[in-house]
Amino acid sequence: MAKLRLGEILLAEGKIDEAQLKAALSHQRRWGKKIGSSLVDLGFLDEIDICKTLSRALRLPLIDVTRVESESITREILDMVPIAAARRNRLVPLAIKNVRRKRRLVVATSDPTNYGVLDDIQFKASLPLLVMIAPDSDIDWFLRKYYMNEGEALPENYVSGISLIEPRDKLMSQEGEIEIDPIEKIFENDEFTSASKVSYDPSRKNKKD
């Protein structure tokens, strides 16, 4: 499923049909919104369903950015992605971490299929990305809290439904039971659990590190 856009993935996964995708694209052109927001506005899908579908299809972890420790979001982290780029691309920086002896910029986005944007941010930050998925309303909350200093309040349309971090890689054990792949801790905070071993590499979509 390499290089497929969000709408194409949702179509391939059976979450929407052709008519719904066309309607969402028309809504997107008319109102200038992202395709995911258009699907939500039209009532075809909710944010959590979109995130979980993308997580399964792209083998990327989900994260609840509203539960990240405030002290860990420093000016150094925020400067990695300027506010204009963060708002336009629905992508926010969370941390700079050493993962397997390599520094990475951890980001959360509601659209991990925006490959050109990921390439650009990776280039400007001079760090490889470790990409996680978050609902768009959570991204908006993060922008308002950390970039615009609007306080702690959750957005009115905030929807719970994901754990702090949900690893998505699964394998069959020898006994035939489904098990979570080995996972590697990337955050030292107790508020974080762990994330699946997936980082952004456009040449290796859907492959394990």
With 80 as the cut, is the pLDDT of residue 126 above it?
A: yes
Q: What structural domains does the chain harbor?
A: 6-45 (no CATH), 62-180 (3.30.300.160)
With 70 as the cut, is the pLDDT of residue 137 above it?
A: yes
pLDDT of residue 151: 65
78 Cβ contact partners less than 8 Å away, ≥ 6 residues apart: 93, 146, 147
- At 55-71, the pLDDT tens digits run 888 888 888 888 888 88
Q: What is the pTM of this model?
A: 0.73
Confidence of residue 42 (pLDDT cuts 50, 70, 90): very high
Distance (Å, rounded) from C-alpha 191 to C-alpha 121? 26
Count of CB atoms within 10 A of residue 116's CB? 9
pLDDT of residue 91: 96
Mean pLDDT over residues 111-127, rounded? 93
- At 71-111, the pLDDT tens digits run 889 999 999 999 999 999 999 999 988 877 788 899 999 99
Output the CA–CA distances (angstroms, integers) from residue 90 to 25, 40, 86, 169, in the order listed: 18, 15, 5, 24
Rounded to the nearest integer, the mean pLDDT of the chain is 76
Distance (Å, rounded) from C-alpha 195 to C-alpha 172? 19
